Chains A and B, each alone.
Chain A
Amino acid sequence: MKTLRLLLGLCLALSACSCSTVKPWQRGHLADYIMRTARDPLTDSISEHVWFTRESFAGGRGVGGGGCGCN
């Protein structure tokens, strides 16, 4: 029981460390091209078309742009 509590406490302590925010001016790496989930607009539109014809709905693939959070 004591070990379990200690472990739980450790997990909580570690989760507290993870509460950090990326400032708008630190988003260089997030805005990088390599961070995009879809890097080829043509492939993306073809998959979107297939998705629509098979599932009869479209969208829901996230927002456009990189992770720079600009504008």
Chain B
Amino acid sequence: MNRRHFLLQSAALLAAGSATPLLAAPAWKENSSLPDLSTFGLEGTLPKLKGKVVYLDFWASWCAPCKASFPVINGWHQKLAKRGFLVLGVNVDETDAAMQAFLKKTPVAFPVVRDAAQKLVAAANVSTMPTSFIIDKEGVIRKVHTGFRDKDADELLAKINALLG
């Protein structure tokens, strides 16, 4: 192996290593359609989303802002259900036990499914936890929201109300 070959090979190896993060799926964007969730092998019962404004929330038991967001989004779910609004929680915990323990401490009225294989969250390629998607009645993503702080609530609720019409 001569020097040039050696250098080229090393450069190729390093490039291959550093390129790995670039191979991830592109994140879900605003104005794109929500894929069919039933194809991702989610644990739990998926509610009917068609014709509803949906707040799709990716959460985990170890994520503190997720916990802070739960009472707020649960309130929206209960208050706006009659107008065709639904919160769908997608849990990405490694174990079902971790999710159940969290839900026992923080009970919610909205449906929760578990992305045990983390296939859906990988497809969405979220940049932070929690990340939520507001989906309109036609199944189009209208807002992507990352993280959760109390001051975000008003803006999100305004968006939901606008979509509910």
Contacts and interface: CB of A to CB of B under 8 A. Distances in A.
A9 B7 CA distance: 9
Contacts of B6: 5, 9
Interface string A1-39: 000010001001101111111011111100110000000
A5 B130 CA distance: 47
Interface centre among A19, A31, A69 (most CB of B within 10 A): A19
B6 to A, nearest CB: 6
A31 B67 CA distance: 14
A22 to B, nearest CB: 10
A71 to B, nearest CB: 4
Interface in B17-73: 17-18, 20-21, 24, 58, 60-66
A69 B130 CA distance: 10
A16 B16 contact: yes
Interface residues of A, number: 25
Interface residues of B, number: 36
Given A15-B17, A17-B17, A28-B93, A71 B65 contact: yes
A32 B85 CA distance: 34
Contacts of A13: 13
B9 A15 contact: no
B129 A19 contact: no
A32 B98 CA distance: 12
A19 B18 contact: yes
B135 interface: no
B129 A70 contact: yes
Given A15-B17, A25-B58, A71-B147, A9 B126 contact: no
6 contacts: A15-B14, A20-B21, A21-B20, A25-B129, A27-B62, A68-B63
Interface of B: 1, 6, 9-10, 13-14, 16-18, 20-21, 24, 58, 60-66, 92-94, 98, 118, 121-122, 126-131, 147-149
